[in-house]
Structure 1
């Protein structure tokens, strides 16, 4: 478990992290979201004692990171995949990490096989592609078989097979009862991976919710309708006190905000109204995230060229 208590970081006049408090619990994948400049990377660095907080604290299973005698056995992290000496082989990079934390040498071969780098273990990491570097970083995070894992943008540079592999790995680790904390800008991937979300903006906590609840709170749901008998459909809905509005995006499509698809279908059937489409619509994580963080975006790009 990771516990963050009133964590604050100031760089001169810049307040990068503003009294953050949240808990990352075991047994689930927790996503960490926020716009660029929100303070995610700074927060993760403070968790690992790479940056000292101005105020507040972080504990790893009840202890600050600096008090962990063999930290790789407690928490594994991928923050910067290319933070490897380019002249060192993948095997030797993992070996010195293992020896520094009294991890058996045999574990190096295990994690190299796990991430698919066993055939390039004796190659220097300076020649690795971005995807290979990511796999090496993930191997380092897994090296101590820790109960807590942190990943920052873990799918960078991975091909579709690699993305599916890391997603499945993170979910498997969580099912084993481990604490898995992952930050990513890829909303579609986060929606498939995480069960719980922590969202920050301008250094402040915006949300700490289960994935489904976050989407429901920050988006609208509606029932989408198409019929060759639009007048009869609208009359039937109006008679039942249901309001339908014409779609702004497609002609001939009607939307019932917060509608009950089953009730509408039964109503149409009772009135003999033919439906060509009856589909409940729910916003994506990306839409909900954009709605939540609209006022917390630090950098706004223009649209004119």
Structure 2
């Protein structure tokens, strides 16, 4: 478990993290979201004792990271995939970590196999692609078989197959009862991977909730209807006090959005009035749309500004 309590970090006059409090529970993947500059990486660095808080504290399984014995056995992290000596092979990089942290050497081969690097384990890291470096960083995080795992943008450089592999890995780790905390800018991937979200903006907590609740609280659902007679449908729905607007999504025959009504009631109206429709169904916002709505005021830069 990770407990963040009143965490604050200042760099001179810049307030990077502002009184942040949340808990990352074991047994589920928790996504860590926020616009660029929101303080995500700074927060993760403070969890790992790499930056000292200006105020507040972070506890990992009830203790500050600096007080953990055998920390690589307790916490695994991927913050910067390329922070590896380029002259070393993947095998010797992990062997050095194992030997200096009292981790069985047998774990080196196990994690190389787990991340798919066995075939290149003797190659020097300086020749690795970004995706291979990501896999090596994940292997290092897993090396001590820790109960707490932090990953900062772990999908960077991974191909589609690698992204699916990572998604499965994260879910499996959480399913084993581990604490899994993942930051990512890929909303579509977070929607498929995370069960819970911690969302911050300008260093402050914006949301601490499930993915489903976050989407529901930060979006408006509507019933999407495609019909060759949009004018008549508008008239029928207006008589029932239902607002209908146009959808510019490239659909043929007139795509409309009916607001303030569920799909069942909309279908009943269509049937009762003999309306011809080609499609009807509930449309809910994606995680990305909900995220943009929630964090709009916390974005430091917008194109054109």
TM bucket by the smaller chain?
Answer: over 0.9
Alpha-carbon offset, residue 283 of structure 1: 1.1
Deviations 1:184-207 (A, max 9, x none): 111111111111111111111111
Residues in 2 aligned to 1:62 and 1:39: alpha-carbon distance in whole angstroms: 23
Provide the residue aligned with 2:272 in structure 1: 270
Q: How does 1:31-50 map to 2 (within 5 A)?
A: 31-50=31-50
Provide the residue aligned with 2:97 in structure 1: 97
> Could you tell which deviates more after superposition, 104-113 or 286-295?
286-295
Residues in 1 aligned to 2:260 and 2:68: alpha-carbon distance in whole angstroms: 50
Alpha-carbon offset, residue 182 of structure 1: 0.3
Provide the residue aligned with 2:88 in structure 1: 88
The number of residues matched between the two structures is 303
Query: Is the contact between residue 77 and residue 149 of structure 2 (CA under 8 Å) also seen in structure 1?
Result: yes
Query: Is the contact between residue 229 and residue 254 of structure 2 (CA under 8 Å) also seen in structure 1?
Result: no
Provide the residue aligned with 2:111 in structure 1: 111
Q: How does 1:161-240 map to 2 (within 5 A)?
A: 161-240=161-240
Provide the residue aligned with 1:279 in structure 2: 281
User: Quick check: 1:295 aligned with 2:297?
Assistant: yes
Alpha-carbon offset, residue 248 of structure 1: 5.3
Q: 1:256 aligns with which of 258, 267, 280?
A: 258
Paired residue secondary structure (2:111)? helix
Alpha-carbon offset, residue 247 of structure 1: 3.1
Alpha-carbon offset, residue 219 of structure 1: 1.2
Deviations 1:33-67 (A, max 9, x none): 11111111000000000001111000001010001
Residues in 1 aligned to 2:260 and 2:141: alpha-carbon distance in whole angstroms: 44
Deviations 1:64-103 (A, max 9, x none): 0001110111110000001111111111111111122211
TM-score when scaled to structure 1? 0.95
Residues in 2 aligned to 1:117 and 1:287: alpha-carbon distance in whole angstroms: 36
Q: How does 1:118-133 map to 2 (within 5 A)?
A: 118-133=118-133
Residues in 2 aligned to 1:148 and 1:67: alpha-carbon distance in whole angstroms: 15
Query: Is the contact between residue 220 and residue 258 of structure 1 (CA under 8 Å) also seen in structure 2?
Result: no
Residues in 2 aligned to 1:247 and 1:154: alpha-carbon distance in whole angstroms: 36
Alpha-carbon offset, residue 249 of structure 1: 5.5
For the aligned residue pairs, the C-alpha RMSD in angstroms reads 1.5
User: Quick check: 1:154 aligned with 2:154?
Assistant: yes
Alpha-carbon offset, residue 174 of structure 1: 1.0
Query: Is the contact between residue 242 and residue 259 of structure 2 (CA under 8 Å) also seen in structure 1?
Result: no
Relative distance call for 1:161 and 1:247 in structure 2 (3 A) is closer
Deviations 1:245-266 (A, max 9, x none): 2335667222112421112112
Residues in 1 aligned to 2:157 and 2:248: alpha-carbon distance in whole angstroms: 38
Relative distance call for 1:247 and 1:301 in structure 2 (3 A) is closer
| Gap regions ≥5 residues in structure 1 | none
Deviations 1:109-150 (A, max 9, x none): 000000011111111111111111000000000011111111
Residues in 1 aligned to 2:192 and 2:244: alpha-carbon distance in whole angstroms: 31
Provide the residue aligned with 1:140 in structure 2: 140
Residues in 2 aligned to 1:51 and 1:150: alpha-carbon distance in whole angstroms: 15
Residues in 2 aligned to 1:254 and 1:136: alpha-carbon distance in whole angstroms: 49
Paired residue secondary structure (1:244)? strand
TM-score when scaled to structure 2? 0.95
Flag as ranges the 4+ runs of structure 1 deviating above 4 A.
Answer: 248-251
Alpha-carbon offset, residue 242 of structure 1: 2.4
